[in-house]
Amino acid sequence: MFKKNFVWGVATASYQIEGGAHTADKGLNVWDVGSATPGRIFEGQRGDVACDHYHLFKEDVRLMKEFKIGGYRFSVNWARLLPDGTGKISEDGKRFYLELLAELKKAGIQPWVTLFHWDYPYALYQKGGWLNPDSPKWFEEYAAVCAELFKDDVTHFILINEPQCFLGLGHSTGEHAPFLKLPDSEVMRAAHNTLLGCGLAEKRIRKICGDRVKIGTAQAYWPALPVTEADVELAREETFACHKNFGSVNYYTDPLLFGKYPDDVLAWQRECGFTFPESDMQIIKSKLDFYGLNTYSGDRVTKKDGKTVHPKPAPTVPRTDMRWTVDPDALYYGPKFIWERYALPIVYTENGVALAEWKDLNGQINDDSRIDFLKRYLRALSRAADEVEIDGYFYWSLIDNFEWAEGFSKKFGLIHVDYETQERTPKKSAYFYKRVIETNGEEIWK
Ligand code: NOJ
């Protein structure tokens, strides 16, 4: 069962929906610039206009109100607010976010603001980005500007979104902006600076906002899941093991919450020759009020002949348009593993499904598979909520949008967007989600 004041929300991110890439004095970011190189993004698509939320935000808030959305998670485009990344504040950037917040207030929707959802200011990238030793301070300054400007309206700040992706995909494999393929020791440096930035930002925001806001993080979390009940312990171990990549959650949240990297991460850092002063860990260690999880699926694990194996899913296992398996257990075991390790209230800051879909001849989107997905995942989450503290769920995403390297080809929205006319059309699942919200989850059992 979901608790009484459970937050039912939707999520978006600035580069994926805003557009308005060249308005007023907005600075460019690494996605604005990096997406121009051919071959990086599906069919050369870019987020210059995207869903034109920059101009249509009032309509989007009106739709959220109509569908009874209780919380809206969105991100601030750092270079829209601070064109150079630090220093001068853009009047237009300030106006845009203050108007959006005022609109949300009128609609009675809680604003959950992500400070950094991957659109890093290009001006700072040219100075080395997250590799520059000053980068933690730049992030602190930006966080302080947001806290000062938005403190009367924002209820929750999320410091960063999915370090696993902007570091792993952005700095290691080169699939996302800034499209770098750095040696592991350099990615470790960028990760460490990101964590220092989070530690500094958390302390500054608290100083400015006091108890008025809650602060958390949003992690890309793809838990290992047991094949049989006998594999639960193994799944927990695998979830938190260092696989010598930047994909685990504890690489980041052990330092943030315990002030210490996991031992196997430390060993990998030593192997790569990455070092840092021990005193950094006190800066990184933070007090977080909630643990945000972005989960879409999981990875099954078991033992075979004494060895840990990740069996390939059978061809019958359903897959989304991202080719991710439909595996609702991720929302049952996943939160339990996090709760046991960190004992922080959990919020699903993202979960959702991309489907190959289009408007039918009657102009409707009958996305029954999305409704089925929601029922399956929310039933699992409801079981978890009987055992651990879960405070909210944000569906990804409010509207179809720019899915990074996949361009506009993947559709996650509850609301369809016609990218030619910018017309919004709620899908059948939007009406379902509205009933879920109105019944505080009861609708999922029907
Ligand atoms: C993770 C990211 O935070 C978001 O930007 C992305 O669109 C969704 N998950 C779906 O892949």
In this structure, are strands 390-396 and 7-11 parallel, antiparallel, or unpaired? parallel
Q: How far apart are the first and last CA of the chain?
A: 14
Look at residue 123 in the predicted model and tell me its pLDDT: 98
Q: Are 407 and 43 in contact (CB under 8 A)?
A: yes
Distance CA 264, CA 279 (A): 20
> What residue spans define the domains of the chain?
7-445
Distance CA 169, CA 292 (A): 20
Q: Whose Cα sits closest to atom 10 in ligand 1?
A: 403
Q: Is 259 exposed, middle or buried (0-12, 13-18, 19+ CB in 10 A)?
A: middle
| Helices (H) then strands (E): counts for the chain | 16, 13
Q: Whose Cα sits closest to atom 11 in ligand 1?
A: 403
Q: Whose Cα sits closest to atom 5 in ligand 1?
A: 13
Buried b (16+ CB within 10 A) or exposed e, 417-432: beeeebebbbbebbeb
Look at residue 173 in the predicted model and tell me its pLDDT: 98
C-beta contacts of 259-264 below 8 A and 24+ residues apart? 259/284, 259/285
- The helix (H) or strand (E) run that includes residue 138 is helix 135-150
State the Cα angle at 52 between 107 and 320, rounded to 5°.
Answer: 90
Distance CA 293, CA 351 (A): 9
Buried b (16+ CB within 10 A) or exposed e, 334-343: bbbbbbebbe
Q: Both tokens of residue 90?
A: 């853009």
Whether pTM exceeds 0.95: yes
DSSP letter for 171, please.
Answer: I
Per-residue pLDDT of the chain (446 residues; tens, 9 = 90+): 999 999 999 999 999 999 999 999 999 999 999 999 999 999 999 999 999 999 999 999 999 999 999 999 999 999 999 999 999 999 999 999 999 999 999 999 999 999 999 999 999 999 999 999 999 999 999 999 999 999 999 999 999 999 999 999 999 999 999 999 999 999 999 999 999 999 999 999 999 999 999 999 999 999 999 999 999 999 999 999 999 999 999 999 999 999 999 999 999 999 999 999 999 999 999 999 999 999 999 999 999 999 999 999 999 999 999 999 999 999 999 999 999 999 999 999 999 999 999 999 999 999 999 999 999 999 999 999 999 999 999 999 999 999 999 999 999 999 999 999 999 999 999 999 999 999 999 999 99
Q: Which atom of ligand 1 is nearest to the CA of 350?
A: 9
Catalytic residue flag (residue 162): yes
Distance (angstroms) between ligand 1 centre and the Cα of 77 equals 16
Any residues with CB less than 8 A from the CB of 435 and at least 6 apart, and which?
Answer: 443
Q: Which atom of ligand 1 is nearest to the CA of 396?
A: 8
Q: Which atom of ligand 1 is nearest to the CA of 412?
A: 10
Distance CA 337, CA 212 (A): 29
Distance (angstroms) between ligand 1 centre and the Cα of 295 equals 9
Distance (angstroms) between ligand 1 centre and the Cα of 13 equals 8
Distance (angstroms) between ligand 1 centre and the Cα of 397 equals 9
Q: Whose Cα sits closest to atom 6 in ligand 1?
A: 403
Any residues with CB less than 8 A from the CB of 166 and at least 6 apart, and which?
Answer: 118, 120, 160, 176
Q: How far is CA 416 from CA 119, 352, 354, 355, 392, in A?
A: 24, 14, 12, 12, 24
7-445 placed in CATH 1.10.600.10: no
Q: Choosing from 140, 350, 357, 443, which is the catalytic residue?
A: 350
Distance (angstroms) between ligand 1 centre and the Cα of 362 equals 30
Backbone angles phi, psi at 239, to 5 degrees: -60, -40
The label of the residue with tokens 């989304």 reads: 320
Any residues with CB less than 8 A from the CB of 89 and at least 6 apart, and which?
Answer: 81, 82, 145, 149
Q: Which atom of ligand 1 is nearest to the CA of 161?
A: 3
Ligand 1 pocket: which of 166, 404, 408, 417 to mutate (most atoms <8 Å of CB)? 404
DSSP 227-246: SSGGGHHHHHHHHTS--SSS
Distance (angstroms) between ligand 1 centre and the Cα of 345 equals 22
Query: Where does ligand 1 bind, in terms of residues with CB under 6 Å?
Result: 13, 16, 161-162, 294, 350, 396, 403
C-beta contacts of 204-212 below 8 A and 24+ residues apart? 204/140, 204/143, 204/144, 204/147, 205/143, 205/144, 205/146, 205/147, 205/157, 206/287, 208/144, 208/147, 208/148, 208/151, 209/147, 209/151, 212/151
Q: Which atom of ligand 1 is nearest to the CA of 118?
A: 5
